[in-house]
Structure 1
């Protein structure tokens, strides 16, 4: 009798077959991890707001937008200018999904807690994927690595931003892509077009990786959808809402202004697109910080190509704020890097895989205290100064619905009930009914302390009278 042969299916081109493993334990713990992360993220965000360390730029702007949606209007951000249509700044209609929650609880806290939930839930697909690949202990390292990553921590520590919606979409979508679930990957990726105009390029990159891994038809369609979507948003939709009829952020890309013609112009352009991507040192440092929490193993996965659009617009920009590890700009990179990390580990032998996880865990633990999540262990985080209580009493004297020019850190304390602009910001509503300024600890933005004093003197000469001048807070009312 001839032997019976069992023919196993061939793996798709570009894919890796999962190694044979014993049945994995349940993954209910990943939801517990998400709840713990939500509590941590929410605690940091709320304490920053309660201590008046959030800002009009950007929490106040997004609250004004969500407030508009909640009342059935297209988003308007008074902080950007009188009646400024926010869809003329960035294309983020996904913010409308917060309108029902805001209608129930009209406060900036709604936005901060929604952001905490969005960032936290992304750990669920990442940790579950890691458990399927490296087991429970390895998955705990990955969950800790993502949950405590500096990019997520920086987003938590700086107000609210629309990119919080992109983080779980990328986490679920990239895990589906890594596992060859093409339809699910595409369906998770397409909503990124509603989050921000640059993320269409990320959708395109996901489509390209999908095609590389074997699903050419769906991948090509997704790539086209992403590129066309971004093009329409930047060239048609945003300019149609923008008061100036253009996309404001073209001038942030130094490529649009490099080169003076001739050999020098060519040299400038070549430098900009080569060495200019990693100089000055801030850029190189950010790239190292991006990869170090995965022991650089993420580079072994083709999923890292999904990072390229976000890194490109940041590193090619003339704006130094985009180059480093500050603010919220790296939040979308965190799910990309950690899913790529797990994907790379699938092809590794047990010993190097274990070493990579140990290094990744150690790096994550060393970085954690240096970023906003470390504030959870600092006593000052849980103290509220008497001066903050004084500020709240002063702000209560401003009636609901009033027009107000406020210091940047005071603005988000008022945007839920007043029409607020930042004091001294160019193009703000002229002659507001109230002016409230923190003269003791000025931010130095958008004007210097000297300019602030000059504007206060000018306001008094224009008929504003002092209502309160106490503990460094000045409240003026138009006479």
Structure 2
């Protein structure tokens, strides 16, 4: 029972923070709206298409995450973006169970519970909670349970927990292969070799065959561009931040090697968004570093390690998404957000809409939503346009707004922070 306490508390915190953020119109089409469109497609017994990424874009041609179909029963019962956010909160929180269980065995109930809480409050986990919804929420618990099995030398169970990572995202077969490599290092050559070969084969099949098959250009769109020597200060800071939550004790364990595939593809990429500590990319690293720390901590660390982990996590929380829970404003009614959502309800269900990134996830549960300012265009003109009632500093948005009359749009409503336009029937 004690083992579950941190997980339950974390679920409540994660769910409250993310759902409240969405209700206050702070979620985004990229990526909450995109994932809802894909899951909505599955729930309607169709393809996981995402109009926000473009007309007819099949999400399996972008990233490979068929595991998302597991959310369909919940989405059919409770359709809407909050279902995704609550599911993500539950999956991330469950990952604290194996970490807490292992920590209690190493440090006792009090110290282990503190480490479990520190894991759940770690910056990588909070970044994932604070940036909408992503498929990696499935990877975090699978990896956490697999790592616990590695520490316990339950080799077959470790592989069984790791294998579904192949269905989460196309970069994770490399992590599964790393699990196999860990087994080989510990003398389990047959099982480890089979795991490595299976993971490599699956990864090549996904990137070379499956994703191109669903992609309109028949390619994998994230394979080009490399900059391993660019942004070195930022990359070094990321490595430092990955190791700091454990007081650098994670480096004592070979389990830390399982972080190399994720850090490798991120640092190799030419996209600077992957290099730093923002967004959700570091969530999968948190179970690795915490379990590596717990693999064989030095005896003298029993006195200070739980306090360090919890204090460091608590300090960073003052600058991270869960800090909003301590802000009195979070618990007061947000009249502006309520008015914005009421204004958007003037758009009828089933309509086609070009919406701003901030407004899109308020509509994806009941409309076909495209991203403004890329749409409307001469080739595709949704019936409605929804944009913020505020000046924009984006030249593309300014130009798109000015072009609306020439595309046949007229103002339909304004106020409550929203401008609505509708297309004339004869246009």
Query: How would you bin the TM-score normalised by the shorter chain?
Result: over 0.9
Q: Which has the larger radius of gyration?
A: 1
Tell me if the contact between 1:51 and 1:384 (Cα under 8 Å) persists in the aligned partners. Answer: no
Which residue of the partner structure matches residue 107 of structure 2?
A: 134
**Please, which of 152, 160, 164 is the counterpart of residue 179 of structure 1?**
152
Residue 441 of structure 1 deviates from its aligned partner by 6.8
Which residue of the partner structure matches residue 407 of structure 2?
A: 462
Residue 387 of structure 1 deviates from its aligned partner by 2.1
Q: Partners of 1:38 and 1:333 in 2: how far apart? A: 19
**Please, which of 205, 210, 215 is the counterpart of residue 232 of structure 1?**
205
* 1:370 is the counterpart of 2:330: no
* 1:54 is the counterpart of 2:27: yes
**Please, which of 168, 190, 195 is the counterpart of residue 217 of structure 1?**
190
Q: Partners of 2:167 and 2:119 in 1: how far apart? A: 24
Cα RMSD after superposing both structures: 1.6
* 1:303 is the counterpart of 2:255: yes
Q: Partners of 1:50 and 1:472 in 2: how far apart? A: 15
Listed one character per residue, the Cα deviations across residues 272-327 of structure 1 (whole Å, up to 9, x for unaligned) are 3xxx27x4322111111111010000010000010000000111111111111111
Unaligned runs of 5+ in 1: 1-27, 256-271
Tell me if the contact between 2:208 and 2:220 (Cα under 8 Å) persists in the aligned partners. Answer: yes
Which residue of the partner structure matches residue 337 of structure 2?
A: 388
Q: Partners of 1:427 and 1:171 in 2: how far apart? A: 44
Which residue of the partner structure matches residue 139 of structure 2?
A: 166
Residue 33 of structure 1 deviates from its aligned partner by 1.7
- 1:29 is paired with a residue whose SS is coil
Tell me if the contact between 1:66 and 1:75 (Cα under 8 Å) persists in the aligned partners. Answer: yes
Residue 352 of structure 1 deviates from its aligned partner by 3.4
Which residue of the partner structure matches residue 390 of structure 2?
A: 440
Give TM-score, length-normalised by structure 2.
0.96
Deviates more, 1:314-323 or 1:410-419: 314-323
- CA pair 425-29 structure 1, distance change in 2 beyond 3 A: farther
Q: Partners of 1:362 and 1:100 in 2: how far apart? A: 39
Tell me if the contact between 1:297 and 1:356 (Cα under 8 Å) persists in the aligned partners. Answer: no
Which residue of the partner structure matches residue 289 of structure 2?
A: 337
Q: Partners of 2:313 and 2:335 in 1: how far apart? A: 36
Which residue of the partner structure matches residue 163 of structure 2?
A: 190
Tell me if the contact between 2:174 and 2:200 (Cα under 8 Å) persists in the aligned partners. Answer: yes
Which residue of the partner structure matches residue 241 of structure 1?
A: 214
Which residue of the partner structure matches residue 262 of structure 1?
A: none
- 1:82 is paired with a residue whose SS is coil
Q: Partners of 2:337 and 2:317 in 1: how far apart? A: 28
- CA pair 453-302 structure 1, distance change in 2 beyond 3 A: same
- CA pair 290-198 structure 1, distance change in 2 beyond 3 A: same
Deviates more, 1:376-385 or 1:77-86: 376-385
Count of aligned residue pairs for this structure pair: 423
Which residue of the partner structure matches residue 422 of structure 1?
A: 371
* 1:254 is the counterpart of 2:199: no
Tell me if the contact between 1:85 and 1:242 (Cα under 8 Å) persists in the aligned partners. Answer: yes
Which residue of the partner structure matches residue 37 of structure 1?
A: 10
Residue 53 of structure 1 deviates from its aligned partner by 0.4
Q: Partners of 1:441 and 1:159 in 2: how far apart? A: 25
* 1:283 is the counterpart of 2:256: no
- 1:436 is paired with a residue whose SS is strand
Q: Partners of 1:121 and 1:219 in 2: how far apart? A: 27
Q: Partners of 2:213 and 2:244 in 1: how far apart? A: 42
* 1:431 is the counterpart of 2:371: no
Residue 254 of structure 1 deviates from its aligned partner by 1.1
* 1:453 is the counterpart of 2:403: no
Q: Partners of 2:117 and 2:341 in 1: how far apart? A: 37
**Please, which of 73, 89, 93 is the counterpart of residue 116 of structure 1?**
89
Q: Partners of 2:177 and 2:391 in 1: how far apart? A: 45
Q: Partners of 2:106 and 2:370 in 1: how far apart? A: 51
Which residue of the partner structure matches residue 315 of structure 1?
A: 267
Tell me if the contact between 2:112 and 2:306 (Cα under 8 Å) persists in the aligned partners. Answer: no
Which residue of the partner structure matches residue 8 of structure 1?
A: none
Deviates more, 1:451-460 or 1:355-364: 355-364
Which residue of the partner structure matches residue 269 of structure 1?
A: none
Residue 426 of structure 1 deviates from its aligned partner by 7.0
Q: Partners of 2:365 and 2:359 in 1: how far apart? A: 12
Listed one character per residue, the Cα deviations across residues 56-76 of structure 1 (whole Å, up to 9, x for unaligned) are 000000001111111111211
Residue 356 of structure 1 deviates from its aligned partner by 3.2
